[in-house]
Structure 1
Amino acid sequence: MGNKFIRFLSEAATNKISANEKTTDNISKSNNNFEFTIYLAIPLVFMALLYSIYIYHSKLYINSLTSQQKVPNTLIKRAKRTNLLLLIIFSSLNLLIFFICLGLFLSGNINFNLLVLIAVGIVSFVFIGYAIYKYFKNISILSNIKVDNKINFKKFEEYSIRSVNPKQVFVNANKLINPRSIADETFDIFFNKKIKDKSLTNRNKICHTVANNSFKWSNYLTTNTYSQLNDNNDNLYFVLSCSFKMLVENNLFKDYDEVLTYFTNKWEEMVK
């Protein structure tokens, strides 16, 4: 009787230990699976985020050009450089993530196995491959944009353009990003911020900036209730006229006619 009881206790203890070992194994496997998921998810999430940022900025930059009626050659060249820079940054960051994962794998991390490395590698190179495709697609779009640097300076003799008031012309720099944006501001404030942001003090550099950005700024004009302007095909001339007056206000020129003469003589040189 005593032997049977002892055997019963021994079997019960053995079963208890076995059950505990199974529970421990299950917990260990669960933890390993969780760590595996984390190791796989983190790099993939980062790569997906990088991809979204790359596509967003690439599309935004291209749309800002294709929406313009006139595009100077300098903006096309700048867009091509920016397009290449975005590709290099995106590809480099993706490769960095892959090599970090490779380093973890080679260091012998038991949870960072070959399957994770392969998955990260495949996604990384798929993203880079598609980014390269987008790069060449954007280059093709940029190559098909009609470059138009010429403007009719006689338009500035028209009263409606010459009399425009920068304090009554409204712009919204967020229009291309969000067409519903209501962040309007008067052109004089907008102009001074642009010059200040670029820390420009040299008159020639400021005029060069105005000449090459006026095409883009013309798309920022809004028909605000209090605006002096309505929908008009002469937006570029309104923007330039406002810019001329702001250049005078900032004591860079004596008067409007002096600015007009300067831009008439230097225009092709500035936007080539």
Structure 2
Amino acid sequence: MMARDQGIFSIDNPWPKIGWGMAVGVLVVAAVLGFGVLGRYQQNDSNLDLWNAICRGLGVTSDNGPEAETQPALHTTTRIAWTRGTLDQVAAGKREHGAFIALNCSACHGQGGVSTSTLIPTLAGMDAAVVYKQLDDYRSGKRLWGVMGAMAKALSPQDSADVAAYFADQLDGLPEIGSNRLPESGRSLREADPARRLVYAGDPQRGIPPCSACHGPGGYKIGAPALQGQQAAYIERQLASFAQGMRENDIFEQMRVIAKQLTPDEMRAVAAFYGGRAPKAESMAVR
């Protein structure tokens, strides 16, 4: 007992306390420098305050700002969803009332919806769902075009269904969509004509599906306009608008993604291919 009291373990020996004190001091200085001083500085950015520097040093975030901030409005490409209710409203369109509304459309889209301008689309024979969707996109501002925006805002959803039914029933315009809706055979990636190759086979290497899968001939997707017999210059301009992001009312951005992959020559070739296709004789029958 006496030996311990007189050795390094003596109760009165100050060195253990000094050692522990120095260790604690080093830890405190290291924490202050690491978390409070050095941790505040960021390369190519403003310095952090003490609290943010400590949190970053611990590997956690102290940013609770976004939680309290006002969230921006959800951006949607269209208000139309192809629910049973929407499809029923489109199918219930009244052609007689639609004919009266269409009198306001003939100045631009031509008599009965058959356009004579290369800059304005033909609506005669267009699927009613397509016309209904585009009118709602104009009305809601999802698709921008001054004249059409004003015209669409003057129409109710029922008016849109009525005029869509009228144009869908008109003759001498776009060919009728076939009932079987199967892609035409004999078209493949080995097709020499680039327009025919894009229309019937697409370009898998660039992630481009065939145009005919949605727009025909053969294939069809609800809400996708038929392009056979449409104004070639109009098709080309719309492809360019999608590619440049000027038009953005395509659901899931499908057309924007595809159009961005096309060269100007490919856009022109595809537009000429569809614009040069004359309506088939059998599609001219009274519907």
TM-score (norm 2): 0.30
Report which of the two has the higher share of helix.
Answer: 1
Structure number with greater CO (CA < 8 Å, separation at least 6) is: 1
TM-score (norm 1): 0.31
